[in-house]
């Protein structure tokens, strides 16, 4: 959809419905790419206008919006527009994502929802439904543009993009790259009573998975599969069972034929790592001891399989 000169003037002059507040500073996020083994970082596009599109293959409104979004990108990418797609697909539909991208000619970066920083820091600014759009200005302010479902919604999205493109670029990066935190201390007994220290795993990629009997089917299935597929390539795994009996821990391990050490968790370690009383959390730790990704309190029918493997492949490729 192209704008006439009169419409362009109208869009640039309109100041209602979209505001860039200095209090709404965008935070960097990382997502695994759908199409390759790379990671998508919002900070890589600092100084550009970034439209973050939250969508889903099975959503009829997303299907209607995608052609308009493709045309918008074609028209404004040379002026500094970047689009980042974030797929809301879950385990039952994620296999359809590549075909969807091909069908609509989508060639901007598209990431899988890893339930990390995007879900914690950006998605809550909106309603959570699809298709939702979040606009990051050149100066790093982020604005939720609402849902694109009703007549007139799309014109508000395009209006906001045009307005943002008219702003000057800052002298320094507006969205600063994340500083990966160092791994915290962890020293716990395994099921045989031997003390295991996380420091002894330095030098190779490590996955630390906190779980309990209730989350065994998520944690056990996904993490055991990771270790079976990537253990020989150098991946290390530690399981930390939170407050189950040894018998329940062993039952989970046996069910999924897990071959990595499982430790007896305690409340202090749970709070320090997971950040509260949640009983599920997975940490991807680089060979030099940095937490590349923290995923806590996964949703049912999430994307543990494809998301976990993408982070592991990235760590193995960059050790």
Q: How far is CA 287 from CA 4, 116, 122, in A?
A: 54, 21, 29
The string of pLDDT tens digits covering residues 300-317 is 778 999 999 999 999 999
Helix (H, G, I), strand (E, B) or coil at 289: coil
Task: Return the pLDDT at 5.
Answer: 31
b/e per residue 1-36 (b: at least 16 CB within 10 A): eebeeeeeeebeeeeeebebeeeeebbbbbbbebee
Phi, psi of 203 (to 5 degrees): 105, -15
Q: Quick one: DSSP state of residue 68?
A: H
CB-based contacts of 186: which residues, under 8 Å, 6+ apart?
A: 197, 198, 208, 238, 240, 263, 269, 273
CB-based contacts of 222: which residues, under 8 Å, 6+ apart?
A: 304, 305, 308
Tell me the residue ranges of DSSP E strands in 192-247: 195-197, 206-211, 236-241
Architecture of domain 5-165: 3-Layer(aba) Sandwich (3.40)
Q: Which of 228, 238, 223 is nearest to 308 (CA)?
A: 223
Q: Do domains 5-165 and 187-317 have the same CATH topology?
A: yes
Q: Where are the domains of the chain?
A: 5-165, 187-317
The string of pLDDT tens digits covering residues 211-259 is 998 888 877 889 999 999 999 999 999 999 999 999 999 998 899 998 9
Looking at every residue in the chain, the average pLDDT score rounds to 90
- pTM listed for this prediction: 0.89
Cα dihedral 29/32/33/35 (nearest 10): -170
Output helix, strand, coil percentages for the chain, rounded to the nearest 5. Answer: 40, 25, 40
Measured CA to CA, the distance from residue 289 to residue 184 in angstroms comes to 9
CA 40-149-167 angle, 5° bins:
55
- Given a cut of 90, whether residue 6 has pLDDT beyond it is no
Tally Cβ neighbours within 10 Å of residue 220: 23
Tokens of 297: 């309190």
Tally Cβ neighbours within 10 Å of residue 124: 10
Measured CA to CA, the distance from residue 235 to residue 287 in angstroms comes to 10
Q: For 72-76, 105-109, 123-127, 202-206, which range has the lowest pLDDT when averaged over its residues?
A: 123-127
CB 145 within 8 A of CB 18: yes
The string of pLDDT tens digits covering residues 172-208 is 888 999 999 999 999 999 999 999 999 999 999 999 9
Q: How far is CA 57 from CA 94, 128, 191, 210, in A?
A: 8, 15, 44, 31
Task: Return the pLDDT at 23.
Answer: 52
What percent of the chain is predicted at pLDDT more than 70? 93
Q: What's the topology of domain 187-317? A: Glutaredoxin (3.40.30)
CA 201-206-212 angle, 5° bins:
105
Residue with tokens 């270790």: 227
Helix (H, G, I), strand (E, B) or coil at 254: helix
């Amino acid at each position: 959809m192209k704008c006439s000169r009169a419409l362009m003037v109208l869009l640039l002059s309109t100041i209602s419905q979209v505001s860039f507040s200095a209090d709404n500073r965008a935070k960097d996020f990382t997502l695994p790419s759908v199409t390759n083994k790379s990671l998508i970082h919002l900070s890589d596009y600092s100084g550009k206008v970034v439209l973050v599109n939250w969508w889903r293959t099975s959503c009829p409104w997303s299907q209607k919006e995608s052609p308009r979004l493709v045309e918008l990108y074609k028209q404004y990418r040379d002026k500094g527009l970047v689009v980042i797609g974030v797929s809301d697909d879950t385990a039952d539909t994620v296999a359809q994502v590549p075909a969807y991208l091909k069908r609509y000619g989508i060639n901007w970066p598209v990431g899988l929802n890893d339930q990390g920083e995007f879900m914690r820091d950006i998605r809550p600014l909106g309603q959570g439904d699809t298709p939702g759009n979040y606009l990051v200005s050149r100066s790093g302010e982020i604005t939720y543009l609402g849902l694109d479902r009703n007549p007139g919604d799309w014109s508000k999205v395009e209006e906001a993009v045009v307005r943002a493109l008219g702003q000057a670029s800052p002298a320094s990066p507006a969205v600063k790259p994340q500083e990966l935190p160092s791994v915290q201390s962890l020293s716990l007994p395994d099921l045989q009573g031997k003390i295991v220290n996380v420091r002894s795993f330095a030098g190779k990629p490590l996955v630390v998975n906190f779980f309990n009997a209730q989350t065994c089917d998520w944690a056990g299935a996904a993490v055991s599969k990771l270790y079976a597929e990537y253990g020989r390539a150098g991946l290390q795994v530690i399981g930390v069972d939170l407050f189950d009996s040894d018998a329940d821990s062993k039952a989970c391990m046996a069910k999924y034929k897990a071959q990595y050490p499982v430790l007896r968790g305690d409340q202090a370690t749970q709070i320090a790592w997971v950040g509260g009383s949640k009983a599920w959390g997975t940490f991807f730790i680089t060979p030099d001891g940095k937490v590349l990704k923290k995923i806590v309190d996964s949703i049912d029918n999430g994307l543990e399989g494809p998301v976990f493997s993408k982070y592991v492949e990235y760590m193995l490729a960059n050790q």
